[in-house]
Amino acid sequence: MKRSSNRFLIMILSLAAVIAVVLSVMSYFSATSAVLPNLAGIVVTPFRAASAAVSETLRNWADYFTQFDALKEENRQLKLQIAEMEEEVRQATFDREENAHLRKVAQLREQRRDLHLESARVLVQDSSNWYSLLTINKGTAYDIEVGDCVVTEEGYLLGVVTEAGLNWATVRTILDSESSIGALVFRSGSSALAQGDFSLMSEGRMALTYLGAEPDVVAGDLVVTSGLGGYYPSQVVIGYVEEVRTGDDGLAQYAVLRPEMTLEGLTEIYVVTSFDIVE
Amino acid sequence: MQPKSYRVFKWVMYALVTLLLCAFHAMFFSNIRVLGLAPFLYPMLPAMAAMFEGPRQGAVFALVLGALCDLLVPAPFRGFFAIIFPVIAALSGGIASRLQSRGFLCALIVSSLGLLTTGAFRMLVQVLAGGQYLGLMARITLGEALLTLPALLIVLPLYRAIFRRCGADY
């Protein structure tokens, strides 16, 4: 009896290994999403949408009672910020007209920035402590593909689509330890690499690496996407440099980056399905 | 009901309760953050089923649950949960049938075992893939387990109710 029980368990574990290998191979050879994960995603998407709606309603309800004072203060701050920004917009309008005129004089091509955005809702924020992933409610049916860049409502970089099913897609946020995006320090124009870091992920921070031999980066610097290689649009805001640190080897320096996007309360996002930028 | 119908009914009930707990996890647990950590309920489920139903039936349940989790829950590789959940079920079933009789203490032991085994396997995969921060990963594994264990107060009564209602003989 005991021997047959052991044999049965060995059989189950062998079957588990076979399933694991089949699933891994299927997902490795698939360009978008393997058949089974795609089917599973299609089936659970309506349930995930319902669960996300319930979760959002409860959170909003709780926020109504707990966030009132904070929202009032934030509203006051935003009014001040709007007044400052209106002044900047007036100056920017003047600058833009002058820039257009000068480009015409210098016979440069007109600047253009066409981003095709597809809005989507967040269904699941991965709850494990090992990754930073989101599942959204749109997929290949809406021209969303693996490698598409994802931004927040405010236009801040959020992540990249890593898996796309028919009516769902998985987004790896920039905080995830496997994420890596070409970046540019806006002030100095130095190029670098914005990478997710496992040790910084739980703090909501990421690392800015490959800063060069003499890094021209200081705390407070704005970091945007470089757009090099044409994979992602350029000039999308990633975040601000918080501090510059020396790596474990004592030689190379890296910067701790505070992304502008926030995952807390995130419900609506935009996928950049295609872009055409002339600078 | 006939014994076979009973068995089908019992496993349908286990499946429904498991689905309910997964929905509960997605709706509430995924929003909880304590010191930057979130609870992770899934490894507790095959451990509970195996504690009540024994290593053999528990392992089959765990294999199905693991395969489904692999399709829907992020993991270091697809097939991760299909491998680790039957192992958890085999260990949990063994503990419940040989070392510690079914009850709260046993549930606490097998749940901890499930959570820590999953964390340890995840660490192993990360280390083999060249991952650093072993200390940090160990802290996360431990924190995740401590944060998830209170959910036993919800999970255990549900599984125990099915076990008592449907009996262990089928």
Nearest to B83 among A17, A41, A47 (CB): A17
CA distance B50 to B88: 8
Over chain B, what is the mean pLDDT? 87
Q: What is the mean pLDDT of residues A114-118?
A: 85
CB atoms B38 and A59 under 8 Å: no
pLDDT in tens, B47-56: 999 999 888 8
pLDDT class of A101 with cuts at 50, 70, 90: confident
- How confident is the model at residue A67, as a pLDDT? 78
- How confident is the model at residue A51, as a pLDDT? 77
Of the residues B19, B40, B70, B121, the best mutation for testing chain A's interface (the one with the most A CB atoms within 10 Å of its CB) is B70
Q: Of A185 and B2, which is predicted with more confidence? A: A185
From the list A8, A4, A19, the residue with the least C-alpha distance to B59 is A8
How many structural domains is chain B composed of? Answer: 1
pLDDT in tens, B18-77: 989 988 887 778 778 888 788 999 999 999 999 998 888 899 999 999 988 888 888 888
CA distance B25 to B27: 6
Q: Is B90 on the interface with A (CB under 8 A)?
A: yes
Residue B107 has pLDDT above 70, yes or no: yes
CA distance B48 to B121: 19
CB atoms B79 and A24 under 8 Å: yes
Chain B window 34-73: which residues touch A at a Cβ cutoff of 8 Å? 36-40, 55-56, 59-60, 63, 66-68, 70-73
Of the residues A14, A30, A128, the best mutation for testing chain B's interface (the one with the most B CB atoms within 10 Å of its CB) is A128
CA distances from A215 to A147, A248, A256 (A): 29, 17, 13
- How confident is the model at residue A4, as a pLDDT? 64
State the smallest CA–CA distance between residue A250 and chain B in angstroms.
17
pLDDT in tens, A39-97: 878 877 887 788 778 777 877 787 777 777 888 888 999 999 999 999 999 999 998 88
- How confident is the model at residue A5, as a pLDDT? 65
From the list A227, A255, A253, A215, the residue with the least C-alpha distance to A239 is A255
Nearest to A16 among B66, B76, B131 (CB): B66
State the smallest CA–CA distance between residue B157 and chain A in angstroms.
23
Chain A window 91-110: which residues touch B at a Cβ cutoff of 8 Å? none
Q: Is A59 on the interface with B (CB under 8 A)?
A: yes
- Is residue A201 within 8 A of residue A175, CB to CB? The reply is yes
- How confident is the model at residue A29, as a pLDDT? 64
State the residue range of the domain holding B42. 3-166
* Chain A residues lying within 8 Å of B80, measured CB to CB: 20
- How confident is the model at residue A206, as a pLDDT? 94
Nearest to A129 among B28, B73, B144 (CB): B144
Give the domain CATH number at B69: 1.10.1760.20
Q: Of A25 and A269, which is predicted with more confidence? A: A269
Q: A4-18, A60-74, A194-208, B155-169 — which is least confidently predicted? A: A4-18
Q: What is the mean pLDDT of residues A123-140?
A: 84
Over chain A, what is the mean pLDDT? 84
Residue B152 has pLDDT above 70, yes or no: yes
Q: Which residue stretches of chain B are H helix?
A: 3-27, 44-72, 80-94, 104-128, 134-148, 152-166
Amino acid at A20: A
pLDDT class of A130 with cuts at 50, 70, 90: confident
- How confident is the model at residue A32, as a pLDDT? 54
Residue A224 has pLDDT above 80, yes or no: yes
- How confident is the model at residue A52, as a pLDDT? 78
- How confident is the model at residue A230, as a pLDDT? 75
CB atoms B136 and A198 under 8 Å: yes
Q: What is the mean pLDDT of residues A243-263?
A: 86
Residue B168 has pLDDT above 60, yes or no: no
- Is residue A224 within 8 A of residue A238, CB to CB? The reply is yes
Backbone angles phi, psi at B123, to 5 degrees: -60, -45
- How confident is the model at residue B46, as a pLDDT? 94
Residue A278 has pLDDT above 70, yes or no: no
* Chain A residues lying within 8 Å of B79, measured CB to CB: 19-24
Residue of A nearest to B42 (CA): A128
- How confident is the model at residue A127, as a pLDDT? 58
- Is residue B86 within 8 A of residue B59, CB to CB? The reply is yes
Query: How is residue B34 annotated by DSSP?
Result: B
Residue of A nearest to B29 (CA): A127
Residue A249 has pLDDT above 80, yes or no: no
- How confident is the model at residue A33, as a pLDDT? 60
CA distance B146 to A141: 41
- How confident is the model at residue B34, as a pLDDT? 83
- How confident is the model at residue B2, as a pLDDT? 57
CA distance A26 to A254: 37
Locate B19 and state its tokens: 């689905």
Q: Which SS3 state, helix, strand or coil, does residue A122 take? A: strand
- Is residue B72 within 8 A of residue A41, CB to CB? The reply is yes
- How confident is the model at residue B158, as a pLDDT? 92
Q: What is the mean pLDDT of residues B1-7?
A: 69
Q: What is the mean pLDDT of residues A17-21?
A: 75
